[in-house]
Structure 1
Amino acid sequence: MTGHDCLWKEGFRRTLSHHQILIIGGGAAGIAAATSLHKRNMSLDIAVVEPSDTHYYQPGWTMVGGGVFSQDMTARPMVSVMPPYVTHIVGAVATFQPEQNQVTLQDETTLSYEFLIVAAGCKIGWTAIEGLEETLGKNGVTSNYRHDLAPYTWKLVQTMQGKEAIFTQPPMPIKCAGAPQKAMYLSCSAWRSAGKLENINVTFCNAGKVLFGCATYVPALMEYVTDYGINLEFGSNLVQVDGHNQIAFFLTASPGEETRIIERKFDMLHVCPPQIAPDFIVESPLASVGGWMAVDPQTMQSTVADNIFGLGDVTSTPNAKTAAAARKQAPLVAENLLALMAKKAMPKAYDGYGSCPLTVEHGKIILAEFGYGGKVMPSFPWDSTKPRRAAWTLKKSVLPWVYWNAMLKGREWLTRVST
């Protein structure tokens, strides 16, 4: 083989694979965007870049940790949810070259596109807390933010013999801002039913200053905090875990005082880890100052390149990072991208909608729904600040079905957006 032949074959391996629309991420947001686009124009050439072989229904992990769902209910093979009309590219992104309309994968494959949608999700920062990774899943340390750990949460709740239970929340933003509280309330609910709650000290260590970002729902949540006897520790950020000795270390910042490290003994520690954008976003020209993908908060169009859109957890929009937000954003991005293709004005504006079904007890949920600026945006004709059995049924039986059979199939239920 000549040197020229070697160069040719190497060049062939790296030859551009071109697609009309390239989507980065095969999670909830990415697949919903693909199906929404196909629904509107079945002739589109769409490719989805996704390295994982499993697709997870992440909103269900809270219910696994609360003994309501089985672990298997929240996972399906990626091949079973990837739409048959898209090209599934199994690979991980390394870099973006928006000025050339190209993306390079970690195996050095280069992809080109006419339009790009980034739905890459966020990165869970397990290593940001010293000592956490090596003790997860043992020594009473758990987290509903990982599929394989959620069953351990429920095991700890059921077998709890000690007195100290700690639930943590890091600085924002995180996936589903209410998830750390959901784990706590369901644990308290189970302990009360078992007659154990009065003998357990439950503490919520929150790095932030408020219980919940949308103030309208705080009074209702505080009723449960009081009823369960939960100790609230604001300005308390988990920075280290000594699993063997069951000690958690918190950086505290009380008003008017210098920051200091507080040690807390625990028998059960439920951790919500800090979360950031994936490295290939943070280090890319698409990133904002904070590392998230920079997009217009109404159109979801990149502020870097007109032919790029973002949606889901990866974006810089100041809304709650929830599956409900992605459900709303997907058809909006589809409409705006197709309008751009047709050289028309983008017709849809995202209002920041997100939903957080707060599982305050087994059998009842406060269905928090809100948009930009904390505006309450209920989908149902009821007072959304009240805990309801109907909302529990929605979370337990309706929303999982909607996710698998509607959101990922292009059936855009509960997705009304502004014009």
Structure 2
Amino acid sequence: MYATDSYSALLVPPRPAGLSDPRALLRDLFDTAVAAASAGHCLPPRLPAPPRGRTVVIGAGKAAAAMAQAVELHWQGELSGLVVTRYGHGAPCRKIEVVEAAHPVPDEAGQQAARRMVELVGGLTADDLVLCLVSGGGSALLAAPAPGITLADKQAVNRALLKSGADIGEMNCVRKHLSALKGGRLALHCAPARVETLLISDIPGDDPALIASGPTLPDATTCADALAVLARYGIAVPAHVRAHLESGAGETPKPGDARFAGHRSITLATAQQALEAAAARARELGIEAHVLSDSVEGEAREVALVHAAIARQVAQHGQPFRKPCVLLSGGETTVTVRGRGRGGRNAEFLLALAAALDGQPGVHAIACDTDGIDGSEDNAGALLSPDTLARAGARGLSALARLADNDGYGFFDGLGDLIVTGPTRTNVNDFRAILIV
């Protein structure tokens, strides 16, 4: 016969040590996910063998400098090259030049880097290797407008796409057909050298041709597809830009094109790998983890409603999972900007999640961009607790009012709940974790 206390202990599992500080636990899971997607971790084992001739390294993206650094540290033989990354995302390299440029709207620095990249791969031979390092953000950073299109044209279209609510595939479809290098065209400049592309994926579904608009990979989309995206979101473009698309002048090389024979692409890191690493870390701490999806898309505030409904079901009914547990998801949501506030898609997600949960006891959450920059702000994301709305009310902050103004940054900044990491130099998109205790 057991005493009452002992019998209760048999029915109720011991509380995992990690649950004593939910916020620290959630930050730990995010840091684990980022580390799993870092270039230093995932790139060295996938390097190709050196060629008989020269090795030239080129690349673009938020992780490009860290990838270049990893290549330098582990490459056997001579190499040279140039990569372009976002301002503040550089890394020290000795043989590969690192240029910093603007993101998400391209600038002259990115355009100049693209021109120099083309010059570097000119005159190569079949004995040479071009190692192309590609990660999310490369679409804006590798700024090479097609003939007849100006940098100002591309900047205006980029701004409109970013505000429209278009998903990343739709945005990159338009970008490819207004570019001189995206959609496989950069690889054509490398001929007859062999091209090996190493990628860190920020694309739901991890289609290599979509990452940074696929500068070295053939493109299955068309100018007609790009025009359809512009029409779908009501994006007006100058007459000469429309004529460029309607005439077919912006068409990209397609799958099956013999000019890509012998080339290879390898995806090094994905959202799924980052989520699996975070799940393994949670289980190490004694907390069951469930990956809902690595490729969630849609409006951030609508995605939040679905996550809130699942979290409430777990918290109130123990379905479909028993608590304590953590729910993990990745992908890339969108925000249709209607207000004048500050905040990226992760802050928007958390703000909508807070409103939907309405103080549900025992539910904590984190949402961050794995590149360390939520949209164009200086934070990676933010944290949410059961008392978020109560603390906000005490400070005169309305979640619904801030959501209507797209001001997730201002809301969480007012609570001291922003997460600021600085650039992580990788990018596998959104990371969300909801802890239910």
TM over 0.5: no
Structure ranking higher in strand proportion:
1
The TM-score with structure 2 as length reference comes to 0.32
The TM-score with structure 1 as length reference comes to 0.33
Structure ranking higher in helix proportion:
2
